Amino acid sequence: MLTVLFQVSSILMGACLLMIGASLLGILLPLSMARAGFPTELTGLVMSSYYAGLMLGSKYGLGIIVRFGHIRAFAGFAALVCAAVLAHPLWVDVAPWIALRLVCGFCLAGLFAVMESWLNDSSTNATRGRVLSIYLMTNYIAMTAGQLLVNLWDFWKLEPFMVGGLIVALSLVPVVMTRERAPDISKVQPLKLRELFRISPLAVTGTFCSGLLMGGFYGMGAVYAALVQFDTWGVSVFLSALVVGGFLLQFPIGKLSDVLDRRSVMAVAVVIACGLSVLGVFLPNLTGQLWAFALLAALCGGPFSVVYPLSTGQAFDYLPKERYVAASGGLLLSYAMGATAGPLVCSFVMANLGASAFFGYFATVCLALFLFTLYRMRVRTPLPARQQEVFKNVPAMSPIAAELDPRATTQHAGPATEGPIEAPPPPAAA
């Protein structure tokens, strides 16, 4: 394992730097737009364009990597992201920022696909689970660091954008100098959403709702915190609390799904998140203390973060192992669609109902997912716990992340190249 970690240390360093730069930009933009007086709906439009780019990059970025090679593609993607970060303060307007965020999302999907394919190729079936865990921990730490980094400068000046571009540029160094050979990712193709929905309606709905939740919070959380009169430090702590809460709470919740019906765990998780979100609607009237908002965000972070891996696990319960990578690509597309809609819908609700509607939006999404989960529990009998796949958290960044999942049978399994994808028969009592 130490040998594997030494081999992938340069990739992990590049991923860490890249996530720090991306997270810094993700908090800079909504703060800058709020200070400049942009309408809330336009802020949501700008923030959602990143996830639209992520969706397009997940679909078309792999072709660029296959055509030009891993190192060339990584260098090109990173250069575009760096240029886009530095270009933001040059044109402080909605249209150019939408285009720049779209470019960032597209390129970051390609960048993470490059790094995740290298991580997978460097690990074995025995070490993939631990490599995935370290990769996830690296991402959580980097996201928190990037959000807190905004406090070192006045966010409306050039310095933080320059630092963000500098960090993204530095992520090139450890990756392009790696000695790892480039793996073959030409066979990675996502399973169509229609087929996935036929196999597991709850998995597709859950990943879409996960995108609504995470995209809405990361896209509009800074705007909400600014509207309730928090300074830059308060905004960064509020956003970071969701990341920390998700990291600490999702694993205990996920392990429950290994011994109980996965859908029951999801139903309980989202109904708790719904109750917490309802509390958040009234929290500004109850207290203005930062610790209360940070605690609420941390408590929401667990249920919010667990929806995506529980949904992928639900799909895997009804799929053969050789279809896991293909299914994860389709579920990532569903997540990206939800994350694209999340900031748009959340910003529209906040603009028409006020800042308190921020948590009202999450309560509504959680309630809808809770009701749909109950419906699926009535029409489809649960699998015995021993037949369920174990819980694993796979990041929603690129289709390649699924190949790091130790539940897959082989590395670079990909979908079969011939024949239609057939769903397994439903349980007899369904």
The predicted pLDDT at position 384 comes to 67
Contact assessment for residue 15 and residue 138, using Cβ atoms and an 8 Å cutoff: yes
Q: What are the tokens at 212?
A: 């609504």
Query: Alpha carbon of 292 to those of 238, 241, 272, 287: distances in Å?
Result: 10, 11, 17, 8
In angstroms, the Cα distances linking 56 to 23, 66, 163, 267, 361 are 20, 16, 27, 31, 26
What is the number of alpha carbons within 13 Å of residue 276 lying toward its C-beta? 22
List Cβ neighbours of 247 (8 Å cut-off, separation of 6 or more): 137, 140, 301, 305
pLDDT value of residue 206: 93
**Residue 1 confidence (pLDDT):** 60
Distance from C-alpha of 365 to C-alpha of 210, rounded to nearest angstrom: 9
Per-chain mean pLDDT for the chain: 83
Mean pLDDT by 10 residues, the chain (430 residues): 71 89 92 89 93 88 83 89 92 91 92 80 70 82 92 87 92 77 62 85 93 94 92 93 87 76 88 95 88 94 88 81 75 90 94 92 96 90 67 64 60 37 38
pLDDT for the residue numbered 99: 95
Specify the pLDDT at position 271.
Answer: 95
pLDDT of residue 392: 66
175 and 14 Cβ atoms separated by less than 8 Å:
yes
pLDDT in tens, 119-158: 777 766 677 667 777 888 888 899 999 999 999 988 888 8
* Closest residue by Cα to residue 337 from 172, 105, 175, 161: 105
Degrees (nearest 5) of the Cα angle 192, 340, 149?
125
| Domains of the chain, each with CATH number or no CATH | 2-173+185-404 (1.20.1250.20)
187: number of CA atoms within 13 Å, CB side? Answer: 14
